[in-house]
Amino acid sequence: MNFTHSHIHSLTHWIKKWTVWEYLPWWLANVPVYAFYSWFALRARHLFFFSNVNPAIPLGGAVGESKHDILKLVPESVKPKTVFVLPEMSFEAVITAMQTAGLNFPVVAKPDVGERGFLVQKFTAAGPLRQHLERYPVPFLIQEFLTHPLELSVLFHRFPDNGRFGLSSICIKEFLSVTGDGQSSVRRLMAIRPRAAFQLERFEQENPGLLEHIPGPGETLLLEPIGNHIRGTKFLNGNHLIEPGLEAVFEQVCRQIDGVFYGRFDLKCASVDALRQGAFQVMELNGILAEPAHVYDPAYGMWRAYRDFFRHWKILFDLHRAQRSRGIPPTSHRVAWQFVRRYFRYKKDLEPR
């Protein structure tokens, strides 16, 4: 059998998908995490023990929470311009709302309910945005596309009983891009790099014209402006940035967010110095199932990652106990299951057919 370069690259990528920690399918990579969760759920005698950690968010922010409702909890000083639109609104009303908020293109549209980059897309013109909103008739947030060069995820926790506060994870995001040689198409440049190759099928559907473009020698072309791991963004360990001064900056912000004791900010800023000065903008605040994203750094390693996952589940369990001692119980199993079922029905209804 004659193997072409294409066959060799495909085989290499397939091997990496099933053997390299950061590329493993989500369900497989999390098998040990299910065990951690089960251990703490058994100790708590409640499957949804984590749901009392963030009483301001349904189920603590596990699934199905409203991004709009959570963003309303965040101080205005660190929020970007955002418009909340409902499916019954005409597109003319959407544009009017954007103009009133001072929101110009480009923008990012994200469904009010969803995770892991679900239906999130950048738009540079009204036409494609209108098509997107009409195709998916659910509540959306339309948010200004922040041009700050640095995007990070910052995970925090604070204890209600003793006031203890900490940052436990900082992830620095490196967006998916290719560098041209003046001869190879974007498709070819993506195919030879595993991280980009895993995105080829999506690009074939969403932006096939881009794949035929031939970047000039040394030209770096940004392929994906949305900083999500599932979209090819490289996650880097930024925990070296954690120090008392930065924790003080985030503690000041977090103590203004009532009823949230564990969460992760997805934010953008101009530089690390700007971050230390509190000059950043929060695109999203995620709840209790927000991962310590730094563990997906290619150099971090699987066993260190699972150690950190266990540590974070231990923090959640300790927060659960602190809340119970204050008389705040978890959500009942009946109500929690109803909430989870509604969320999965919602996701199923929006799946492409």
Sequential DSSP letters for 228-280? -GGGTPEEEE-GGG--HHHHHHHHHHHTTSTT--EEEEEEEES-HHHHHTT-E
Domains and CATH numbers, the chain: 1-80+146-175+224-322 (no CATH), 81-145 (3.30.1490.20)
Name the helix (H) or strand (E) containing 96: helix 91-100
Q: Are 108 and 143 in contact (CB under 8 A)?
A: yes
Q: What is the mean pLDDT of each run of 10 residues along the chain (353 residues)?
A: 53 65 79 96 97 96 90 94 95 96 95 81 94 93 94 96 91 94 93 88 90 94 85 94 97 95 97 97 93 94 94 97 97 94 82 58
Per-residue pLDDT at 1: 44
pLDDT per residue as tens digits for the range 162-196: 779 999 999 999 999 999 999 999 999 998 888 88
> What pTM does this model have?
0.90
pLDDT for the residue 265: 97
With CA atoms as reference, report the closest residue to 262 among 303, 295, 311.
311
CB 313 within 8 A of CB 36: yes
At 168 the three-state DSSP class reads strand
283, two tokens:
């695109």
Residue pair 44/331 in contact (Cβ under 8 Å)? The answer is: no
List residues bridging with 85 in a β-sheet: 140
